[in-house]
Amino acid sequence: MKSEHIPKATIKRLAMYVQVLETLKREGSQVVSSELLARACSVNPSQIRKDLAYFGEFGVRGVGYHVQDLIYSIKHSLGVDRVWKCALVGVGNLGKALLRHQDFKFRGFDIVGAFDCDPFKIGEEVSGLEVVCTRRLKDAVKELGIEIGLITTPVNRAQRAANFLIEAGVKGIINYSPAMLTVPSDVYVEYVDFFHHFYSVAFSITLDRKQDRPGVDSTDEDDA
Amino acid sequence: MKSEHIPKATIKRLAMYVQVLETLKREGSQVVSSELLARACSVNPSQIRKDLAYFGEFGVRGVGYHVQDLIYSIKHSLGVDRVWKCALVGVGNLGKALLRHQDFKFRGFDIVGAFDCDPFKIGEEVSGLEVVCTRRLKDAVKELGIEIGLITTPVNRAQRAANFLIEAGVKGIINYSPAMLTVPSDVYVEYVDFFHHFYSVAFSITLDRKQDRPGVDSTDEDDA
């Protein structure tokens, strides 16, 4: 597998494919066409076929992709079919929502540490985890083998949280705050933002009304 | 502007551009290069230039894009520079996190109704909103002019919530549950999933280690 040449945008799409495939699997689907997978991921079928070509040929002509095989192949090829220990920094509403989310561990992402700098939160227990002072992050990362950091702090605390994670040696950060982070080139940051979903919906409703037709065009080539 | 031909994937990217541009604006940036905007959005610069071509020429050679002008042009061209009334269905941890999120109203998305079918939640007040029985959704949508529905229910309740929203005439749904929804062709659903962010980070960390180089390639053509 020519992983050494997989572009970042492809990795993002592969991640989305796996997530959608796992949803299909949960719903009992054994086979999926590239057209259906494309619709669910809002990319075009040719793009999906191109992306999956990194892992050799999976598709069965006239049948589609075997959901389970495809999930396994992508995750195994990329070496992510294992448990990833995660630390969450910032135990506010969103932090608690993520800590209480049941699916993470099931999907191989185990949040083993919850950190906050608020003395009123330190010591509090959230879904079985005791909230610990962020200053103790570095030790926890070493002791628990944490590889991924989730930042759910207010925007003005996000860079500080990132600095703690980077100093602790964490190479992967998922940032739920709207802050743009400054990180070394060997640290990968995934920005989570709720707003593009809102804009997507608002755009679609508006265009539907302008165009007076059901649904916006999802068949056009992505890069038409 | 040829909005009638904007593909769905482009709309998704435009939504992301606006969100990133607004973050840049908040941080004081007045101008942004298509390269920086491309990096922040994990697409390639040529894609951004192609997408923005729908709205005529914005870029200033050697300077880049004027952040404020570009935000205005995209939102105004698409007709979303106004307030959108939203209803949230499912007042669990995530629902509360969203209801307490300060930025939504500021960005033009005003959550004016919170609904749940749990009698123990009905009547509870969350950030100034009284949780109302989901059966009253239809009336609320009419009375309050709600156009967008947020589904933050457990997975097995999501389709039911969607049915209530659709019956109430809502044409845009943001689904935070992992359930795939069955909706009429004139209803647009935006699926929010936290996992592709986790997979993206896990993929990137793994590939970095395999490839023993800092950062995954973000310069390759998206569709290389």
Q: Summarize pLDDT for B164-205 with one digit per residue, the tens.
A: 999 999 999 999 987 778 999 999 998 887 777 888 888 888
Strands A148-151 and B148-151: unpaired
Residues A43 and A129 in one domain: no
The reply to whether A59 sits in an annotated binding site is no
What CATH number does the domain containing A66 carry? 1.10.10.10
Residues B158 and B119 in one domain: yes
Residue A62: count of CB within 10 angstroms of its CB: 6
Residues A128 and A48 in one domain: no
Q: What percent of chain B has pLDDT over 70?
A: 87
Tell me the residues of chain A between 112 and 141 that have a Cβ less than 8 Å away from chain B: none
Instruction: Give the pLDDT mean for B113-128.
Output: 95
Alpha-carbon torsion (B191, B193, B197, B199), positive or negative: negative
Residue A214's pLDDT is 46
Asked if residue A211 belongs to a domain, the reply is no
Asked if residue A139 belongs to a domain, the reply is yes
Residues B125 and B188 in one domain: yes
Q: Where are the alpha helices (DSSP H) in chain A?
A: 8-26, 34-41, 45-52, 67-77, 93-100, 103-106, 137-144, 158-167, 195-211
CB B146 within 8 A of CB B170: yes
- The last residue of one of the domains, among A45, A77, A109, is A77
CB B137 within 8 A of CB B87: yes
Residues B117 and B171 in one domain: yes
Asked if residue B206 belongs to a domain, the reply is no
pLDDT band at A1 (very low <50, low <70, confident <90, very high): very low
Instruction: Give the pLDDT mean for B92-118.
Output: 88
Residue A60's pLDDT is 73
Q: How far apart are CA B45 and CA B129, in angstroms?
A: 43
Residues A146 and A180 in one domain: yes
CB B141 within 8 A of CB B169: yes
Residues of A in contact with B185 (CB under 8 A): 214-215
B63 exposed, middle or buried (CB, 10 Å; 0-12, 13-18, 19+)?
exposed
Strands A188-191 and A172-175: parallel
**Per-residue pLDDT tens digits for A44-93:** 788 888 888 776 666 777 778 899 988 988 888 777 788 999 999 999 88
Nearest CA in chain A to B210: A4
Residues B179 and B152 in one domain: yes
Residue A211's pLDDT is 67
Asked if residue B201 belongs to a domain, the reply is no
CB B114 within 8 A of CB A205: no
Residues B102 and B24 in one domain: no
Between residues A90 and B107, the one the model is more confident about: A90
Residues B141 and B72 in one domain: no
- The last residue of one of the domains, among A56, A77, A98, is A77
Domain count, chain B: 2
- The last residue of one of the domains, among B18, B53, B77, is B77
Q: The domain containing residue A17 runs over which residues?
A: 8-77
- The answer to whether B172 contacts A201, with C-beta atoms less than 8 Å apart, is yes
Closest CB to B12: pick one of A42, A107, A109.
A42
CB A113 within 8 A of CB A87: yes
**Per-residue pLDDT tens digits for A207-222:** 777 765 444 444 434 4
Instruction: Give the pLDDT mean for A2-23.
Output: 74
Tell me the residues of chain A between 83 and 102 that have a Cβ less than 8 Å away from chain B: 84, 86, 92-94, 96-98, 100-101
Residues A90 and A146 in one domain: yes
- d(CA A110, nearest CA chain B) in Å: 11
Residue B5's pLDDT is 61
- d(CA B152, nearest CA chain A) in Å: 11
Residues B31 and B109 in one domain: no
Residues B73 and B91 in one domain: no
What CATH number does the domain containing B171 carry? 3.40.50.720
pLDDT band at A150 (very low <50, low <70, confident <90, very high): very high
Asked if residue B118 belongs to a domain, the reply is yes
